[in-house]
Amino acid sequence: MKNNLPELRARHGMTQGALADALNVSRQTVNAIETGRYDPSLPLAFAIAKLFKCRIEDIFTARA
């Protein structure tokens, strides 16, 4: 999956560490998601979408 998490996070003025704390995951996990090395589970994707008040498909899209 592709994602626009770095842009979304920057728009909200959050560091990777702050986002990790808000989601109760490690900073390495946020980094792995942002760089496309890890696709989050559905519960974590929902938690990210809820935090940024948007839909999952606004953040994650299938890689063409």
Q: Torsion-angle region of residue 38: left (phi > 0), alpha (psi -120 to 50) or beta?
A: beta
Query: Nearer Cβ to other proteins, position 42 or 62?
Result: 42
Q: In this structure, are residues 29 and 20 in contact, taking their beta carbons and an 8 Å threshold?
A: yes
Query: Nearer Cβ to other proteins, position 35 or 61?
Result: 35
Amino acid identity at 36: G
**Least gap, CB of 20 to other proteins (angstroms):** 7
Q: What is the DSSP letter of 16?
A: H
**Least gap, CB of 16 to other proteins (angstroms):** 12
Query: Nearer Cβ to other proteins, position 4 or 49?
Result: 49
**Least gap, CB of 38 to other proteins (angstroms):** 5
